[in-house]
Amino acid sequence: MENIKHLLRKGAGETSFDTIVIGSGMAGLSAAAMLTKQGQKVLVLEANYLPGGCSSSYYRQGYWFESGATTLVGLDDHMPVQYLLQQIGISLPAIPLQLPMQVHLSGQTVNRYQDLEQWIGEAERVFGASGQRAFWSKAYKVSQLVWNSSSKQLSFPPSSFDDLLQMARNVSISQVKSLPYAFGTIEDWLTEHGLINNKAFVQFVDAQLMITAQNTHQEVNQLFGSAALCYTNYGNYYLKGGMIELPKLLVEFLLANGSDYRSRQKVMQVKNDNGYKVITETHTFSSKHVISSVPLNNTLEFWQDDSTKSKQQKYLMDSAKLNSAFQMGIAFKRTRQFESLHHQIHLNVPLPLIGASSIFLSLSHTDDHQRAPKGTVVASVSTHVPNPELNQNFDKALIEDAILSNLISLGFLKADEILYSYSSNPKAWQDWLHRKYGFVGGYPQYKSIKPWQMKDARLDGTGAYICGDSTYPGQGIPGAALSGIIAAHKLMQDHY
Ligand SMILES: Cc1cc2nc3c(=O)[nH]c(=O)nc-3n(C[C@H](O)[C@H](O)[C@H](O)COP(=O)(O)OP(=O)(O)OC[C@H]3O[C@@H](n4cnc5c(N)ncnc54)[C@H](O)[C@@H]3O)c2cc1C
């Protein structure tokens, strides 16, 4: 706990700032860091006692468990997290993973190699040669276009004339060529490559898309889907000490550069009153600008201006379209070596009560004795819970038993090696991170919503902005970071 003491920052202190950022997940901290770098005095207000939100870690019973995210991409050149770190001039000690993931199908294991050729060979071995090379070559090519454009088009999606001008200035031929992929779905690619009737492959694709795009092949467009499916073909990294190391570094950057961060400050109201008044349970702060990094569903609840509320309603997704997560933390004795830290496991029998047909298991690194003492492993297991408003509380023990018996039968651990375990359901996400309905993972991809129809960073048309995984470009650490970078960019473009 010693290494995070400086992050437990309560109290009012100064109350007037250039920009107040609400929430300290990857989106909020990315926005705050970019603005601080450009000379703004920023205050980040966080409801929790620790920063990082869904990409953080917390201490329990002698172990550091991950709060949500366990896989980290985005640190290669041109990718959002790397772009952010380069802009603010800090480096992140991250361990590259040799084998990013294994997928356990009924009776066989698929190695998701980073190298494209090696991966195509593996996909042909498991799913049959037909169509695999063409499918993955195309997906990888489009994913490269997506990542290469991501930090070059910071005005996208456009919501002002200036945005359009900037986009026109930065546009490249390859970006124009990639436009048709926004209209096609992964289903179209599967059909085009003769793979739509390859049941095992479609199941594999769907399970992979669910963890990266939050939806399946019928709904995910080719732009987002290519990046989602080729996630493991880019550098995947591990942070010793846990995911909290990244938000911790960003908070330290803010504090060292004239900005501020306060924890246990839940924002209850934001008023546009000759600048902004941001009201928490205990204090009132004022600023020229506000960036909300909490989901749109939450932001519109504490936003006081009715016209903004009614204009933004059209972007809201309700619970039926969203997912939450059932999550389990397990500490156990380390008695074997693991070929990979990350494992997607397809279940022969869906989980009771929530019906999930796969689970995702992540293990702590052998050399990471900050998270788990020598000779022990700390593991996170998570899976989707649909429509979280209707699935708040259920008998966790039934699901825990099913998860453990799957892990034991696959040889990950033995029952008598378990040192500690706990689990959480959708209500925990709501109580702990305040996310409406306890929904997590971001707004899923839907084919009816094209990338330029997603919520852009401008919130009220004056000084308020929004970022986070309910806005463009959506899910995951790289997506949330990019949304924060874009919000900071638009704020500076509009006002300075
Ligand atoms: C189980 C799980 C597994 C995941 N796995 C991965 C993965 O492996 N790789 C990956 O890249 N992504 C993964 N994700 C997704 C990724 O973690 C998120 O998309 C991303 O971290 C979201 O960041 P954010 O800043 O948008 O939101 P959040 O992380 O939710 O941050 C918002 C912050 O705002 C705070 N807050 C909320 N309301 C208020 C308020 N009123 N006042 C003040 N503060 C408030 C919250 O406490 C929180 O800290 C996973 C998510 C989950 C839940």
Distance 293 CA to ligand 1 centre (A): 9
Q: Which helix (H) or strand (E) holds 57?
A: strand 57-60
- Amino acid at position 282, single letter: T
Chain centroid to CA 188: 26
Rounded-to-integer distance, Cα 212 and Cα 72, Å: 12
**Sign, Cα dihedral of 226, 229, 235, 237:** positive
Distance 375 CA to ligand 1 centre (A): 30
- What is the pLDDT at residue 10? 63
- Is the separation of the CB atoms in 33 and 211 below 8 Å? no
CA angle 109, 112, 113 (to 5 degrees): 125
Distance 322 CA to ligand 1 centre (A): 14
Rounded-to-integer distance, Cα 149 and Cα 472, Å: 14
Distance 73 CA to ligand 1 centre (A): 15
Which of these, 412, 276, 424, lies nearest to 354 by C-alpha position?
A: 424
Is residue 424 in contact with ligand 1, taking CB distance under 6 Å?
Answer: no
Rounded-to-integer distance, Cα 289 and Cα 36, Å: 13
Task: Pick the residue whose CA is nearest to atom 14 on ligand 1.
Answer: 69
Q: Which residues of the chain have pLDDT under 70?
A: 1-2, 10-12
Residue 253: strand, helix, or coil: helix
Task: Pick the residue whose CA is nearest to atom 1 on ligand 1.
Answer: 68
Q: How many CA atoms lie within 13 A of 344 on its CB side?
A: 24
**151 is written with which tokens?**
């930090």
- What is the pLDDT at residue 11? 61
Looking from the CA of residue 45, the nearest atom of ligand 1 is 43
pLDDT in tens, 170-210: 888 888 888 899 999 999 999 999 999 999 999 999 999 99
- What is the pLDDT at residue 5? 73
In whole angstroms, how far apart are CA 345 and each of 106, 123, 139, 480?
9, 17, 23, 26
In whole angstroms, how far apart are CA 290 and each of 60, 117, 130, 299, 324?
34, 46, 52, 11, 27
> What string of DSSP letters covers 186-249?
HHHHHHHTT-TT-HHHHHHHHHHHHHHTSS-TTT-BHHHHHHHHTGGGS--EE-TT-TTHHHHH
Is residue 354 in contact with ligand 1, taking CB distance under 6 Å?
Answer: no
Is residue 23 in contact with ligand 1, taking CB distance under 6 Å?
Answer: yes
Distance 480 CA to ligand 1 centre (A): 8
Rounded-to-integer distance, Cα 406 and Cα 491, Å: 49
Overall pTM > 0.95: yes
Is residue 388 in contact with ligand 1, taking CB distance under 6 Å?
Answer: no
Is residue 278 in contact with ligand 1, taking CB distance under 6 Å?
Answer: no
User: For the domain bounded by 2-56+241-317+443-495, which CATH number is listed?
Assistant: 3.50.50.60
Rounded-to-integer distance, Cα 471 and Cα 442, Å: 8
Looking from the CA of residue 302, the nearest atom of ligand 1 is 41
Distance 468 CA to ligand 1 centre (A): 8
- What is the pLDDT at residue 2? 65
Residue 263: strand, helix, or coil: coil
Is residue 226 in contact with ligand 1, taking CB distance under 6 Å?
Answer: no
Relative orientation angle of helices 26-37 and 476-495, to the nearest 10 degrees: 40
Rounded-to-integer distance, Cα 335 and Cα 150, Å: 42
Which of these, 473, 470, 463, 494, lies nearest to 21 by C-alpha position?
A: 463
Owner of token pair 């920009």: 19
Please compute Rg for the chain using Cα positions: 22
**383 is written with which tokens?**
């899976």
Determine whether 307 is exposed, middle or buried from the number of CB atoms within 10 Å of its CB (0-12, 13-18, 19+): exposed
For strand 95-96 and strand 237-238, is the pairing parallel, antiparallel, or unpaired? Answer: antiparallel
- Is the separation of the CB atoms in 52 and 25 below 8 Å? yes
Is residue 7 in contact with ligand 1, taking CB distance under 6 Å?
Answer: no
The residue whose CB lies within 8 Å of the most ligand 1 atoms, and thus the one to mutate among 294, 328, 360, 465, is 294
The residue whose CB lies within 8 Å of the most ligand 1 atoms, and thus the one to mutate among 54, 262, 269, is 54
Chain centroid to CA 194: 32
- Is the separation of the CB atoms in 465 and 459 below 8 Å? yes
CB neighbours of 220 closer than 8 A, spacing ≥ 6?
185, 186, 209, 213, 228, 445, 447
Rounded-to-integer distance, Cα 302 and Cα 271, Å: 9
Residue 15: strand, helix, or coil: coil
Secondary structure percentages of the chain, helix, strand, coil, to 5:
40, 20, 40
Rounded-to-integer distance, Cα 372 and Cα 66, Å: 12
